[in-house]
């Protein structure tokens, strides 16, 4: 029986392989049929082109009642993410589209072009109750295709019109384009931003999150947002044992100096197909650390690579997880992070429905 050929990293992409989604009954792999020519170390697999299809979603606000998530509502303008972060916990959602959580997730994208109109219609309903909306909780709302599609900007314009609070999560410098919307909202305590900074090591970032902004540019974005009066937090996430965890204090310190007022972190999560994808990435990019990394992950997940229970999935359990929590808490105290209420707790009382076409005019 022919042995499957090992997948090889592709320049500018995070996942090494493109395994079949978990709902498929068949799996496919490349094998050597004897006609394969020897490869030189300089040979690289051919580049993959990014494609974008239109997502015809009928609604745009996703809701959850998870006790360990600080919001009940979220909007994700895109499915899939070209940033290519190998650790992204959203990768397994591509299986619902019949696509791979590997390279498909970062090359076959879907844009919800009707999002602003759907949001406007939903907020205008008399029964709608205002609660914070998290923008980009699953995939990045400012990934590269936002430059063309501008869906995120359209969503922000609707939220501004309704005086609706929004918390944005991104690792892109493109968010600076929308300071003209976010700053006036922040002045009314209606907007905050969290910038994800996984590492300060540019070389590590290039492999972990190949199409995302460099760490330095993200710190510059923190400064630009803070200077505009927008409350900014830093997400030092995910913390990967024996890979970037030693940087936790440095990341928080650099972000604080750039103007961040809040902070958070998540221990690496490896749900469903993400475990073999991450192990494949380790074998390709950090083979000397792979066994140690996975050992510490299992020590923090009760012997498994992932536990999904509320209250444990974000921080883990055991000695290593407790040490990481203690380091984070001590750094936040030292740096004064998470101390301010305004900006970290947005106002829902200002919500109003702007006049709609066909509304009766007020008598006075």
- In angstroms, the Cα distances linking 303 to 34, 187, 280, 320 are 41, 47, 20, 13
263 closest CA partner among 330, 178, 350? 330
* Helical packing angle, 290-299 and 274-285, nearest 10°: 150
- Residue 153, both tokens: 């900007």
- Tell me whether strands 108-111 and 78-79 are parallel, antiparallel or unpaired: antiparallel
Distance CA 187, CA 346 (A): 11
- Tell me whether strands 133-135 and 62-63 are parallel, antiparallel or unpaired: unpaired
Residue 311: predicted pLDDT? 86
pTM (two decimals)? 0.91
pLDDT digit string, tens, across residues 104-152: 999 999 999 999 999 999 999 999 999 999 999 999 999 999 999 999 9
Residues in the chain: 364
51-335 CATH choice from 3.30.43.10, 3.80.30.30, 3.20.20.70, 3.30.505.10: 3.80.30.30
- Residue 203, both tokens: 């070389």
Q: Mean pLDDT over residues 308-333, rounded?
A: 95
Distance CA 70, CA 236 (A): 17
Residue 45: predicted pLDDT? 67
Q: Mean pLDDT over residues 164-188, rounded?
A: 98
- Higher-pLDDT residue of 178 and 6 is 178
H/E stretch holding 197 reads: none
* Helical packing angle, 215-227 and 248-257, nearest 10°: 40
Q: pLDDT grade, residue 8 (50/70/90)? A: confident
323 closest CA partner among 205, 251, 239, 200? 239
What are the sequence ranges of the domains in the chain?
A: 51-335
Q: pLDDT grade, residue 39 (50/70/90)? A: low
pLDDT digit string, tens, across residues 208-227: 999 999 999 999 999 999 99
Distance CA 81, CA 139 (A): 6
């Amino acid at each position: 029986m022919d042995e499957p050929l090992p997948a090889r990293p592709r320049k500018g992409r995070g996942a090494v392989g493109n395994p079949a989604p978990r709902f498929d009954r068949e799996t496919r792999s490349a094998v050597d049929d004897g006609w394969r020519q020897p490869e030189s170390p300089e040979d690289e697999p051919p580049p993959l082109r990014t494609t974008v299809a239109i997502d015809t979603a009928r609604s745009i606000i996703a809701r959850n009642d998870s006790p360990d998530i600080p919001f009940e509502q979220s909007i994700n303008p895109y499915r899939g993410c070209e940033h290519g972060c190998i650790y992204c916990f959203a990768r397994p959602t591509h299986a619902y589209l019949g696509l791979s959580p590997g390279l498909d997730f970062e090359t076959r994208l879907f844009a919800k072009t009707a999002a602003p109109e759907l949001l406007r219609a939903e907020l205008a309903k008399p029964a709608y109750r205002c609660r914070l909306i998290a923008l980009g909780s699953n995939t990045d709302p400012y990934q590269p295709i936002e430059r063309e599609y501008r869906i995120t900007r359209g969503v922000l314009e609707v939220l501004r019109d309704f005086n609706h609070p929004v918390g944005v999560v991104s690792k892109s410098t493109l968010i600076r384009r929308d300071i003209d919307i976010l700053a006036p909202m922040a002045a009314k305590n209606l907007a905050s931003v969290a910038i994800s900074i996984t590492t300060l090591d540019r070389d590590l970032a290039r492999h972990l999150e190949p199409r995302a902004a460099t760490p330095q540019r993200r710190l510059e974005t923190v400064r630009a947002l803070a200077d505009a009066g927008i409350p900014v937090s830093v997400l030092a996430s995910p913390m990967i044992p024996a890979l970037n965890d030693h940087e936790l204090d440095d990341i928080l310190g650099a972000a604080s100096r750039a103007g961040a007022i809040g902070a958070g972190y998540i221990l690496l999560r490896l749900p469903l197909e993400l475990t073999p994808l991450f192990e494949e990435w380790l074998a390709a990019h950090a083979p000397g650390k792979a066994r140690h990394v996975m050992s510490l992950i299992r020590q923090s997940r009760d012997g498994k690579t992932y536990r999904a229970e509320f209250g444990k999935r974000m921080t883990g359990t055991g000695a290593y997880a407790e040490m990481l929590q203690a380091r984070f808490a001590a750094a936040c105290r030292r740096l004064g992070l998470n101390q301010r209420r305004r900006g970290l707790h947005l106002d829902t009382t200002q919500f109003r429905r702007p006049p709609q076409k066909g509304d009766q005019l007020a008598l006075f």
